[in-house]
């Protein structure tokens, strides 16, 4: 199961239910996928196919909505 947190600018922000505990988010678009750590600070973990411009755009969106992402993960894993 990979619940979608939100979609924005052609990107899907989501996480996998059966994955490592360290807080992170996956982002997918037509060009590829990336993974960002949320703690201890926001950092690119992996990138598959996104350009530097796209990674910067995604990082900005993660930073802007980090509280929403963290809340969605906590709610999902608590239940």
Q: What is the pLDDT along the chain (79 residues), one digit of tens a residue?
A: 688 999 999 999 999 877 788 899 999 999 999 999 999 999 999 999 999 999 999 999 999 999 999 999 888 878 5
Q: Give 17-38 pLDDT, tens digit per residue.
A: 777 888 999 999 999 999 999 9
Contacts for 13 with CB less than 8 Å, ≥ 6 apart: 4, 5, 6, 7, 25, 26, 27, 61, 62, 65, 69
- What is the pTM assigned to this prediction? 0.91
Owner of token pair 């196919």: 49
What total number of domains does the chain contain?
1
d(CA 74, CA 70): 6
Q: Which helix (H) or strand (E) holds 57?
A: helix 52-64
Query: Which domain covers residue 33, as residue numbers?
Result: 4-78
């Amino acid at each position: 199961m990979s619940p979608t947190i939100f979609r924005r600018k052609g990107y899907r922000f989501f996480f996998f239910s059966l994955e490592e505990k360290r807080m992170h988010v996956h982002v997918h678009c037509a060009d590829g996928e990336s993974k960002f750590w949320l703690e201890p600070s926001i950092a690119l973990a992996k990138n598959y196919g996104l350009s530097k411009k796209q990674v910067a755009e995604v990082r900005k969106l993660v930073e802007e909505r980090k509280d929403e992402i963290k809340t969605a993960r906590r709610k999902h894993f608590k239940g």
